[in-house]
Structure 1
Amino acid sequence: MPKKALLVIDMQKASFTVETPRLDEAGVVKRINTLAAKFREEENLVIIIQHDGGLGGAYEKNSNSWENLDALQTKPTDIFLDKTANDAFYNTALESLLKEKGVKEVCITGCATDFCVASTLQSTLIKDFNVVAVADGHTTGNRPNLTAEQVVAHYNWVWQDMIPTKGSVVVKTVAELTAE
């Protein structure tokens, strides 16, 4: 049974447009692909989470903009899960799926650091899972008062110093995780 799961959150075309450039898009996708390959090789779970924004929105299910980035490598063995809120656990089967599969550790990657990634990470911590925030596996865009680099650095710092209610949280790079 898998003991680990990799969450890949909102790596969808609607999140990566000319109007919404993301920090190191190509590098983040490459590192997520590398980590996902390791998870698959070790028979751990890779869960691709896509935001479903409802009818008529940029994230309308099955629309071109809802699709994952072309460079993101997915496999038929991956689990695909839709969400409708920032937190990937909210009104989804994610928690029951992880517990049913015997997962103890959840690695979190994706877009956007300060919204869906942060919300899901914080929710994961209160559900009895150990959490790995993948330091170079999440991205966001510039914000009114912070650059994308500052946002990513800030959240990696927050997660590194966070005292979880349950489980544990560590911040590791893809290189550190693939060397284990």
Structure 2
Amino acid sequence: MTDTALLIIDVQVGVVDGELRAARLDSVLANLNLAIARARERGYPVIFVQHEEEDLPHGSPGWQLHPGLAREEGDACVGKRYGDSFCDTGLSALLTDHGVDRLWVGGCATDFCVDSTVRNAVSLGYQVTVIRDAHTTLSAFDLDAEQVIDHFNAVWSATRATPEPLRVVPAAQLE
């Protein structure tokens, strides 16, 4: 058993490389693969979360995990229908089964699924490390995706009122 798991949220073809391409996608994939390698070196479970909804049906080409991810047989996959990866999923049970109380988190979308999962994980008592250079999003509203990513890295870095520390570090500094 280990105390840490790597959680990769919604890095699916139709989410990050579909009609629109997510910001910094090539570097995000490279940094997620670095995080995957570091997790595997330490024996940490690697867990992929896949979103599904009417426009992204389970099993469809767009629903598939991005082929640029360094997946291996035996990696866990968790399906979800809401932004928060814990909401109505088996994620909590899976983490409990592995004895996990610390998470490394990356994926898409920074401002929706990653943020809601990070905030809920902190509320549930997990010590969370957001991988600063391994999450992405699309441009939305009045901000471009680059601004959104930088904004959330700053917000998470400044967050102090949490039961466990919320850390934001680049993939190369994961420990």
TM-score (norm 2): 0.95
Distance 1:157 1:93 in 2: 30
2:94 paired with 1:86: no
Structure 2: which amino acid aligns with 1:133? V
Please, which runs of 5 or more residues in structure 2 have no aligned partner? none
Change over 3 Å in CA distance of 1:102–1:151 after alignment to 2: same
Is the partner of 1:59 in helix, strand or coil? coil
Structure 2: which amino acid aligns with 1:69? H
Note the 1:87-106 alignment, pairs <5 A: 87-106=84-103
Deviations 1:4-40 (A, max 9, x none): 1111000001112453221111110111011111111
- Residues 88-97 or 18-27, more deviating: 18-27
Structure 2: which amino acid aligns with 1:175? A
The equivalent residue for 1:39 is 39
The equivalent residue for 2:3 is 3
Count of residues in correspondence between the two structures: 175
2:81 paired with 1:50: no
TM-score (norm 1): 0.93
Deviations 1:46-97 (A, max 9, x none): 00000021xxx33211111100111112111211110110000000111122
The equivalent residue for 2:166 is 169
The equivalent residue for 2:12 is 12
Distance 2:90 2:165 in 1: 22
Q: Is the 8 A contact 2:125 2:164 kept in 1?
A: yes
Distance 1:119 1:142 in 2: 18
Give 1:130 shift.
Answer: 0.3
Q: Is the 8 A contact 1:58 1:65 kept in 2?
A: no
